[in-house]
Amino acid sequence: MIHLEDVWRTYRMGDEELHALREVTEEIRDGEHVAIMGPSGSGKSTLLNIIGCLDRPTRGRYRLDGREVASLDPDELAEVRLHRIGFIFQSFHLVPRLSALDNVELPLIFAGMPPAERRKRGEEALDAVGLMPWAGHRPSELSGGQKQRVAIARATIMGPGLLLADEPTGNLDSRSGHQVLEMLSQLNANGKTLLVVTHDPSVARRADRVVVLRDGQIVRRVEGRSVSDLATLFAEDVPAP
């Protein structure tokens, strides 16, 4: 599904160049669950933005489902983001003035779906994350865990094959975080490809494998490690900034 070949992302700061990503080559298969780890500034979110078609590499190649992303025009990229990719963020990105149900329905509005069908599918998606009793509540009336479950419902309502989660439990207590991780694991078990950016070895442990970044480069790939192994690896290979 995802093929990155010698991907760089460079930003110019005055006369200097900042390489947010360097020489990234990686392949992620359909249905995989991959965790991306690394300290702040290592390039994790930049990599996720490129994979999610929110940004483009400065150089290198990115193919998604066999298509060269660089060859897609803005309308085609918007279609890919709408139909093929679901995004889940640490800060939820819900619209404050809209109800939980209205937030979930937003992608269907962009897709041009009629109101009656929108409402039916929105209710089904919200019910799937156990939040129909809170359908009319605004984000300010929901807990952090409930907000993230609304975000998951919104991210999955178009049936995307790829889910990208950037620190999805970063703003949650341990109980709510566990519930969200269980939902994501179930979505992966049902065939969704799942990429999770995390600082937490216990979150990374759920993945099939872990990609470790430092200074914009992949410095290690790990499979089947325990939490303690990942914690040691993270401390040794990716020192805190």
pLDDT band per the 50, 70, 90 thresholds, residue 13: confident
C-alpha 131: how far from its chain's center? 21
**What is the reported pLDDT for 15?**
84
Per-residue pLDDT tens for 139-185? Answer: 999 999 999 999 999 999 999 999 999 999 988 999 999 999 999 99
Mean pLDDT of the chain: 92
Nearest to 66 by CA among 130, 131, 145, 161: 161
- DSSP codes of every residue in 143-155: -HHHHHHHHHHHH
pLDDT at 228 over 60: no
pLDDT at 224 over 70: no
pLDDT at 131 over 80: yes
Edge-to-edge strands, sheet with 193-197: 85-89, 162-166, 193-197, 33-37, 209-214, 217-223
pLDDT at 135 over 90: yes
pLDDT band per the 50, 70, 90 thresholds, residue 86: very high
| Domain residue spans of the chain | 2-84+160-237
Which helix H or strand E contains 70, and what residues bound it? none
Q: What is the CATH number of domain 2-84+160-237?
A: 3.40.50.300
What is the pLDDT averaged over residues 44-57? 95
**What is the reported pLDDT for 73?**
93
Contact 173/143 with Cβ under 8 angstroms?
A: no
